[in-house]
Amino acid sequence: MKRALLFAALTAAAPVAAQAPDTVFLEELTWVEVRDALKAGKTTVIVPTGGTEQNGPHMPLGKHNFRIRHFSNLIARALGNTLVAPVMAYVPEGELEPATGHMRFPGTITLPDEHFRKVLEYAARSLRRHGFRNIVFIGDSGPNQPGMKAVAEMLNAEWKDARVHFIAEYYRGNGFEDWLLTQGETKEAVGTHAGIHDTSLLLAVDPKLVRMNKRALNGGFEGSGVAGDPRRATAAYGQRGVRFVVETTVRRIREEMAKR
């Protein structure tokens, strides 16, 4: 009897209407929600490029993707009327034969630069087709930068009703590295890959992703993939870095959009 009553109660329950989520990410929205967002004036979209590459023994291959998704969320919300396309996780990382760059490390996935540019181009063309009028390229990895710049210039020369804004300062020139030097850190410790700079930013985004016991000066052994001293990285450094990256990128996007 109790089972019958419970079954009747469950089957009689009215379905709960799902509400549109509080998100800026296209992949979390339905096409109807995107359509309505465009009608409401959300015609700016960020196209973030990350990467799948080695980051030493202490950080995961998806470091760039985790970071840029987090930053894109903050940037889009600060701008307002902005959505975020899915992170491009496959980017130029080196040659296959012989293996060069990060491709010398297991797990790295590379995309030839010409194919990276074509994917980026058609992502932008797709977004313009749907009604986005300001398309923002930001990249969390160095080899992404030339391709994003070139595709933005090509599309801007072709289009009259939309603009592509490549924001180089997201990656370099946002002030974070200079600020670290004012804190007494050396250029060698800050590093060029997986050192203080890189590791601190990921600690601020998600500390669970960093293998704290694997941090060592220059990775601890030859061929580690680390150039810097991740032992000196802190979440506090990273939180300051997030501010530099987000505030600089938001300012530069607004400056670029004001030129139209």
pLDDT for the residue 230: 98
% of the chain with per-residue pLDDT over 70: 93
For 168, half-sphere exposure in the C-beta direction (CA atoms, 13 angstrom radius) is 8
Q: Map out the domains of the chain with their CATH numbers.
A: 23-258 (3.40.50.10310)
- Assign residue 187 a region: left if phi > 0, alpha if psi is -120 to 50, beta otherwise? alpha
Q: Is 97 helix (H, G, I), strand (E, B) or coil?
A: coil
3-state SS of 211-252 is CHHHCCHHHHCCCCCCECCHHHCCHHHHHHHHHHHHHHHHHH
Q: Any bridge partners for residue 45, and if so which?
A: 83, 135
Q: pLDDT for 61-97, tens place per residue?
A: 999 999 999 999 999 999 999 999 999 999 999 999 9
161 pLDDT above the threshold of 80: yes
Q: pLDDT for 193-213, tens place per residue?
A: 999 999 999 999 999 999 999
